[in-house]
């Protein structure tokens, strides 16, 4: 097993425990035991528990992002790419209970400001992916010209809001129909 495969295995084990017991209750010893390795060997992959948590969560967020991007890139139209990016991301959280529990237990994963965003680069990359699809849509005249960066930020914020409402607000569960309705509003606006 190569170094990257071992690192992935470490992250997966850490994420399992962090999602089940939370950051405070999970110990480095717990993670090492789950992996069948010594605590010292675990420190080959992270400086400390906080570093391991941040690295493992970043890995999980990137996996989520890459999964969504791969699905979106298979689509022909830019509108379909954006929809697939959102819809696939939404579905991914439905199937990935570990990441979903992390989001529920660590609400700081989706901060309201960039200054509080520990995963700024990953979230920035998500906005850049959306910008790419928007620019492509303008070039192909699928979309009218508009200020791309601001629209990408709005779309990303809207998506994060749906995720927050789905997983962090008790009793407030947006359905697939809510996602479809929201996407229709984004594409077609309010005017008749």
The predicted-structure confidence for 83-132, as pLDDT tens digits, reads as follows 999 999 988 988 999 999 998 888 888 877 788 899 999 999 999 999 99
Q: Is residue 177 part of a domain?
A: yes
Q: Is residue 18 part of a domain?
A: no
Six token digits for residue 2: 């190569």
Higher pLDDT, 167 or 138: 138
Q: Is residue 114 part of a domain?
A: yes
User: What letter does residue 168 receive in the DSSP assignment?
Assistant: T
Q: Is residue 167 part of a domain?
A: yes
Q: What's the number of domains the chain is made of?
A: 1
- Tell me which residue range forms the domain holding 81: 49-188
User: How many Å apart are CA 172 and CA 165, to the nearest integer?
Assistant: 6
Q: What CATH number corresponds to the domain at position 107?
A: 1.10.357.10
Give yes or no for residue 170 having a pLDDT over 80: no
Give yes or no for a contact between 110 and 163, defined as CB atoms under 8 angstroms apart.
yes
User: How many Å apart are CA 93 and CA 90, to the nearest integer?
Assistant: 5
Half-sphere exposure of 96 (CA within 13 A, CB side): 21
Give yes or no for residue 171 having a pLDDT over 80: no
Give yes or no for residue 137 having a pLDDT over 90: yes
pLDDT of residue 33: 96
Q: Give the pTM.
A: 0.91
Give yes or no for residue 173 having a pLDDT over 70: no
């Amino acid at each position: 097993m190569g170094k990257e495969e071992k690192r992935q295995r470490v992250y997966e084990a850490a994420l399992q425990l962090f999602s089940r017991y939370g950051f405070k209750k999970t110990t480095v010893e717990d993670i090492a035991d789950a992996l069948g390795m010594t605590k010292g060997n675990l420190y080959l992959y992270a400086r400390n528990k906080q570093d391991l948590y941040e690295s493992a969560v970043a890995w999980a967020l990137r996996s989520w992002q890459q999964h969504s991007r791969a699905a979106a890139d298979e689509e022909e139209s830019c509108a379909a790419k954006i929809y697939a990016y959102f819809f696939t991301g939404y579905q991914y959280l439905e199937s990935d209970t570990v990441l979903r529990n992390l989001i529920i237990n660590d609400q700081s994963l989706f901060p309201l400001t960039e200054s509080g965003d520990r995963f700024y680069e990953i979230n920035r990359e998500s906005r850049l992916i959306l910008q790419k699809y928007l620019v492509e849509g303008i070039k192909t005249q699928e979309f009218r010209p508009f200020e791309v960066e601001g629209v990408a930020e709005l779309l990303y914020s809207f998506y994060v809001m749906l995720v927050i409402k789905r997983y962090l607000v008790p009793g407030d569960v947006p359905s697939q129909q809510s996602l479809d309705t929201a996407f229709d509003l984004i594409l077609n606006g309010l005017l008749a």
